[in-house]
Structure 1
Amino acid sequence: MGTDEVVGTFEFDESDDPTEFETLTAEELEAIDKIGEHGFKFISLNENSLVFTRGESERRYTGAHRHKIEEIARALKNDVREHEDALGIVSTNDQYVEFFVRDVRRGGVPIGASNPRWNQSTGNCGHEVSLTEDGRSFHISNTDEKACIELSPTTAIASFLIAYSFTSRHAARPLRGHTLKVFFSEARSENELAQEAIDLTERLCFELDAAHGIQMVVAPRERFRVTIPRTPAPEGGIRVRFPKMRLPREVSALFSFAGEAADNPPFMFLSYYQVLEYHLPLAARKEGLKSIRRELQSLNFDEKDDASILRLLNCAERNRNSGEEDQMKMLITECVRGDILREFFDKGNHGQHFTRRGPISGVPPINSSSTNETLEVQVAKRVYALRNRIVHAKDNPKYAEMPVLLPRSKEAGLLAPDIHLVRLLAIEVVVDSQG
């Protein structure tokens, strides 16, 4: 999330002056102390809104109305937690999950007063509902799945945990709008609650979109952006030259589009991967020509000998039938400079990202000191496996251990080092193709 972004819809007046803390009641001060036990630090009272931040070093401001502060303290005591992937909360005590949802057609703004009018039939599910009288909310249930889904005004605890600002304490005001709640009538663990609730919510979003064109989506917990480090400009300024490189428009367009997809890391990775994919036939041709020349230069080659000719044919056939992973190995081995690749791993500040303890599952690790496989082969295997995790969503046991990497998942937000790697490979391959 960029430092200039505010999550949610806030109303604030920059002229507000923090009121002295002594105006708080004893009950409010007690609630503030209880909230502080969960990592929140109270910093000011702006009219009727209390402003908090998390920890000393994190510039994340959030707020709550004074009359809701005790309710928030009780909810935190009941172990309400933030959802791991989505912008939402999970309450194991009350067996419900609450999600912040966006209206895609209106630029991703929160669902609020602009909601369509819904059929508000609630049935007899037994849950306490919070429908508004204007028809902008709904509560639906299913006895078979023992669950209910409700779109209604945001709860105080959800507003406190998921509506926040990185810019100013003045922006930290309670969230206004609606959230989507999923209630369960049978006990589930925290993980089961979180997973089943988001599955139900995304099924609902699919049906609303497919049947009615209502593009409501669950907001991710963070809006991840991948930043490409800039090379420091020389003292005399950046030297601009007339383009010397000749490359197909498809390649330049894909490379440029990757930069536009900075807030969708898997898509950004795929755009750079497609630059590599465009050049895979080049790698196969290079390897094939090298093999054929090797046979022709052999001291035992005899153009009148059938066995010699068959070896030539086998070289061509072997490269023609090689799979995409093998072609990727050829491409990186042939077209990427080894010293540049090694420098990326030896001097890059990647921590444990490319190791077995890294955050991306289902892809091979990379050990630049390994003697079993070349660094180029290790890189090719990882890049290809990661591409498969992004594009393969097949209902097939073959892919059971390699689930699809979803665009707004926690893993997606941790792809930056892999994206930097595939970008480097794309540049190297494009430059090599100029020869």
Structure 2
Amino acid sequence: MADVESNYEDEEFEEQEISPQVLAEAKEKIAARCAASGITFEEVVDEIADSSSYKFGFKCGRNVKHILVWGAKGLLEFLDVPFEDYCFLSDLDAICSYKDGVIEAGIRPVSFNGQGVSIPFVYRQLFGVFHSKDFDSEENKLIVSAEGDNPITFEISPGTHCYKTIAQNPGRQGLTLKLSGVNIKQHDKAVELLTRSADSLLFQLDLLTNVPFILRKQRRRSGGRLIRRVRGAEKVELKFPDSEFDSAPLSLYWYGRSADEMPLLQFLAYYQVVEFYFPIYSQSEAQRKLKAILKNPTFRGDRDSDVARLLTAIQVSRNGTFGDERSQLKATMIECVDADSIREFIESDSVIKEFYLSGSKSLPFHKIPLANESLDLRGDIAERIYDIRCRIVHTKSDSRDVSGELLLPFSKEAELLGSDIKLMQYIARQVLIAGSRAYHV
């Protein structure tokens, strides 16, 4: 919706001032403009609340992005903007007009140490504005243009009325990056140009102002950030602790809990909690393997092949642990995580369950066969976790490791790690509990 400075009563009064005839004419005009440009448009009536909302379906790459506009006043805002000339750019909170050669994308400051960045601080650093009364000044913009024959221009400033209306972003001081003079007619090329230009400009902006900005992403429902479960009204009951934990992995656990806006860092923090216990549980696994080999009646200590079997079983890594990292992860999970409990954890959360049944198919990691109810999932979960870990740190510990490109921050794949992070967090908790010892004063 457009920017409106009024309280609830004013909005309600203005809504009543819109006559049925004016609203009907507006719906007819907007429907005709939508039909001519391939945008879907429908009215959604809430009979209980006796109100209507309006649903637009804009082109967004190969998909459709739906925008929901509330009330007659919000709908009338669309009459004042050339919305039919615009489409959305996939994965980004950005609109593009090939006709006018314009791209406008929302940008947001990255939080410092988990704390948000205030609008006054941003405006002071970017535009030299110290007083809130000056926030709406038309002078609050940064503009640079290419030299020579290339007419492209970049501008960082508050979002335009057109952007706020179409993208349904009513924030008055929300900033956008605008590209004008763009001679592109294809969606993928528009995304590539916007991303490449934003990377250059926003990195420069960080160097000049110490305010890191990134392109604002479209919100995702599946596999992304998960809703926190809210407790009931009952009071929490604590008990005197009977266990204490190793300080190093617990510190990593708290680090993961604090990194909500950094999914790759969060995943690695939880992984490192589990990794801390690799030497303990990989040794237990190696002992079992050795016992099984030595108890075999056919084992001969003077036979080279049998000695080679022993060496393979205890394969010591450079850090003194037994086996490669993949097998150490599996050994730790087998020792610390109950097979039934981890399946119950996945299936008790509808978002996570649906993600592993169908939503995770687009990600290039080992699939968890959740549909097989009789299968112990721990081995497959360990394979998936290790795949993700390798893609984040981009290492190849052995020839069986997953091949693929580096998993980058702010990428589509990184945003879809929500369920994997929750699962990794659960495993980290179980390993911490298994590795705890009796509490002492």
The aligned residue for residue 279 of structure 1 is 277
Q: Structure 1: which amino acid aligns with 2:155?
A: E
* Counterparts of residues 224-243 of structure 1 (less than 5 Å): 225-229=225-229, 238-243=236-241
SS in 1 for 2:364: coil
Q: Does 1:162 align with 2:162?
A: no
Q: Provide the rounded CA distance (Å) in 2 between the counterparts of 1:298 and 1:228.
A: 52
Tell me, yes or no, if the aligned pair for 1:146 and 1:184 is still in contact at 8 Å: yes
Tell me, yes or no, if the aligned pair for 1:258 and 1:271 is still in contact at 8 Å: yes
Query: How far 1:370 moved relative to its partner?
Result: 5.8
Which one of 126, 132, 148 corresponds to residue 116 of structure 1?
Answer: 126
The aligned residue for residue 88 of structure 2 is 82
Tell me, yes or no, if the aligned pair for 2:205 and 2:212 is still in contact at 8 Å: yes
Q: Structure 1: which amino acid aligns with 2:162?
A: I
Query: How far 1:255 moved relative to its partner?
Result: 2.1
Q: Provide the rounded CA distance (Å) in 2 between the counterparts of 1:63 and 1:211.
A: 44
Higher mean Cα deviation, 301-310 or 207-216? 301-310
Tell me, yes or no, if the aligned pair for 2:141 and 2:158 is still in contact at 8 Å: no
Q: Provide the rounded CA distance (Å) in 1 between the counterparts of 2:195 and 2:362.
A: 21
The aligned residue for residue 138 of structure 1 is 143
Which one of 387, 402, 406 corresponds to residue 405 of structure 2?
Answer: 402
Tell me, yes or no, if the aligned pair for 2:2 and 2:74 is still in contact at 8 Å: no
Tell me, yes or no, if the aligned pair for 1:98 and 1:182 is still in contact at 8 Å: yes
Q: Structure 2: which amino acid aligns with 1:241?
A: K
Query: How far 1:358 moved relative to its partner?
Result: 2.5
Q: Structure 2: which amino acid aligns with 1:379?
A: I
Tell me, yes or no, if the aligned pair for 1:115 and 1:136 is still in contact at 8 Å: no
SS in 2 for 1:107: coil
Q: Tell me, which stretches of 5 or more residues in structure 1 are unaligned?
A: 1-6, 44-50, 119-131, 165-172
The aligned residue for residue 336 of structure 1 is 337
Which one of 340, 353, 358 corresponds to residue 355 of structure 2?
Answer: 353
Tell me, yes or no, if the aligned pair for 2:53 and 2:68 is still in contact at 8 Å: no
Q: Provide the rounded CA distance (Å) in 2 between the counterparts of 1:331 and 1:393.
A: 21
TM-score w.r.t. the length of structure 2 is 0.71
SS in 2 for 1:354: helix
Tell me, yes or no, if the aligned pair for 1:117 and 1:136 is still in contact at 8 Å: yes
Which one of 85, 93, 102 corresponds to residue 96 of structure 1?
Answer: 102
Query: How far 1:10 moved relative to its partner?
Result: 6.8
SS in 2 for 1:94: coil
Q: Does 1:12 align with 2:6?
A: yes
The aligned residue for residue 60 of structure 2 is none
Percent of aligned pairs with the same amino acid: 22
Alpha-carbon spacing, 1:323–1:81, altered in 2? closer, same or farther (3 Å): farther
Query: How far 1:274 moved relative to its partner?
Result: 2.0
Query: How far 1:317 moved relative to its partner?
Result: 2.8
SS in 2 for 1:365: coil
Tell me, yes or no, if the aligned pair for 1:91 and 1:97 is still in contact at 8 Å: yes
Alpha-carbon spacing, 1:134–1:142, altered in 2? closer, same or farther (3 Å): same
SS in 1 for 2:243: coil
Query: How far 1:152 moved relative to its partner?
Result: 3.9
Q: Does 1:327 align with 2:328?
A: yes
In the alignment of these two chains, the number of paired residues is 391
Q: Which one has a larger percent helix, Structure 1 or Structure 2?
A: 2
